[in-house]
């Protein structure tokens, strides 16, 4: 794909070579994310960070990624404060807001809404999550994390064995990641969920058609025995009709250090798109895993910054100029100490 000026709406836009190029650029962003260097390449550029559904972490991650490239951020953080409630179409909103910025990141509760918005936008649009549909940057940062974690073991993504756990029906990060894995060979996927929260059948079909070995399970312990990655997810309470319905499934699959030690291969990597639900009735990943060096959940979120910086740099075509407009950090950097 040609990244320059492109909308980033779906994982289905990406070929394997695109993913690999993106990961190379993400690696180049590391000195800036780690505050060893500062770049001003996007000085004067404006990101319209339009979150029509609340999400502090994703919103701040996109915004910080843009700031780290030297750009400014204008944003909105909720549906209420929007003209949409006055009856404006998404296309109108897009025509208006795209006049105010150089690139837009958008989250919206309705599936397909970001693509609708992009169709009328005059600047590139990135999908920050559209309902239960997709969340492509999360899938890309997940795969980037997998690649980095496996690289430490001298491995690539081909040949990956991964268990995905939890609310696979509503968890859009799982949907997008599943599609992305179709670009690779010799992948084994184990889907662990209550039957009612199973991964949508069309995605399972897509994976099988691409040659992935997919198995389905409703039981955690035995299913995580022979994998490289355990990918746990949260019950997406906000996608259920009632809280009571969500409560039926909360806490069904809990991983802690004892289970990990008993069932997993040594050095199985633990991932989660976050936030993990740490309330006692959920506790998807017990805090006793926090000292386990294979818990990669916070490396995931850090990698998100790199992926988003890389996407901005690619879409705005400044990859080759990032270093040119850079200088050393002038302030105390907690990360290096």
Active site positions, annotated: 57-58, 86, 107, 135
> Cβ 89 to a copy of itself, closest distance in Å?
4
Using the contact rule CB under 8 A, the part of the chain among 138-146, 161-169, 204-212, 274-282 near a copy of itself is 274-282
Using the rule CB under 8 A, which residue among 9, 11, 26, 41 binds a copy of itself? 41
Side-chain half-sphere of 90: how many Cα atoms within 13 Å? 18
Judged by CB under 8 A, how many residues of this single chain contact a copy of itself?
80
The reply to whether 110 sits near a copy of itself by the rule CB under 8 A is: no
The reply to whether 334 sits near a copy of itself by the rule CB under 8 A is: yes
Instruction: Return the ∠ at Cα 198 (arms to 192 and 203), rounded to 5°.
Output: 105
The reply to whether 42 sits near a copy of itself by the rule CB under 8 A is: yes
The reply to whether 100 sits near a copy of itself by the rule CB under 8 A is: yes
- 186 sits in the region (left: phi over 0; alpha: psi -120 to 50; else beta) called left
The reply to whether 335 sits near a copy of itself by the rule CB under 8 A is: yes
Q: What is the DSSP track for 27-72?
A: HHTHHHHTTSEEE-TTTT-EEEEEESS--HHHHHHHHHHHHHTT-E
> Cβ 224 to a copy of itself, closest distance in Å?
22
The reply to whether 320 sits near a copy of itself by the rule CB under 8 A is: no
Q: Is the peptide bond before 194 cis (omega within 30 degrees of 0)?
A: no
Q: Smallest Cα–Cα separation from 322: which of 69, 103, 73?
A: 69
Instruction: Give me the long-range contacts of 56-59 (CB less than 8 A, separation at least 24).
Output: 57/274, 57/275, 57/301, 58/107, 58/128, 58/129, 58/138, 59/107, 59/128
Using the contact rule CB under 8 A, the part of the chain among 49-57, 108-116, 173-181, 211-219 near a copy of itself is 49-57
Using the contact rule CB under 8 A, the part of the chain among 12-20, 148-156, 216-224, 270-278 near a copy of itself is 270-278
> What is the rounded CA–CA span in Å between residue 32 and residue 333?
12
Using the rule CB under 8 A, which residue among 186, 287, 288, 323 binds a copy of itself? 287
For residues 52 to 91, the per-residue mask of contacts with a copy of itself, x marking binding by CB under 8 A and - elsewhere, is: --xxxx-xxx-xx--xx-x-xxx-xxx-xxxx--xxxx-x
């Amino acid at each position: 794909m040609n990244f320059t000026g492109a909308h980033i709406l779906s994982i289905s836009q990406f070929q394997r070579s695109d993913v690999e190029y993106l990961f190379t650029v993400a690696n180049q962003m590391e000195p800036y994310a780690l505050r060893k260097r500062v770049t001003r390449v996007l000085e004067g550029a404006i990101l319209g960070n339009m979150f029509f559904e609340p999400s502090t972490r994703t919103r701040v991650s996109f915004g910080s990624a843009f700031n780290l490239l030297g750009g400014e951020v204008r944003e909105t953080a909720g549906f209420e404060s929007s003209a949409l409630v006055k009856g404006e179409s998404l296309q109108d909103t897009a025509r208006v807001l795209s006049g105010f910025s150089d690139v837009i990141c958008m989250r919206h509760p309705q599936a397909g809404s970001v693509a609708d918005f992009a169709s009328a936008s005059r600047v590139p649009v990135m999908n920050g999550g559209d309902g239960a549909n997709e969340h492509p940057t999360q899938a890309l940062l997940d795969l980037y994390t997998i690649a980095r974690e496996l690289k430490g073991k001298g491995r690539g993504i081909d040949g990956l064995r991964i268990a995905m756990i939890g609310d696979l029906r509503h968890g859009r990060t799982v949907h997008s990641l599943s599609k992305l894995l179709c670009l690779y060979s010799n992948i084994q996927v184990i889907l662990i969920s209550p039957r009612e929260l199973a991964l949508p059948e069309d995605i399972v079909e897509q994976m099988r058609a691409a040659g992935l070995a997919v198995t389905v399970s409703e039981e955690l312990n035995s299913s995580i025995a022979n994998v490289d990655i355990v990918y746990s997810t949260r019950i997406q309470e906000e996608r259920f009709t009632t809280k009571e319905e969500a409560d039926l499934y909360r806490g069904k699959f809990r991983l802690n250090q004892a289970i990990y030690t008993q069932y997993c291969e040594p050095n199985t990597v633990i991932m989660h798109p976050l936030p993990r639900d740490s309330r006692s009735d959920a506790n998807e990943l017990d805090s006793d895993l926090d000292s386990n060096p294979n818990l990669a959940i916070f490396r995931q979120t850090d990698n998100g910054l790199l992926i988003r910086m890389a996407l901005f740099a690619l879409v705005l075509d400044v990859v080759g100029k990032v270093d040119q407009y850079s200088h050393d950090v002038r302030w105390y950097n907690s990360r290096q100490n």
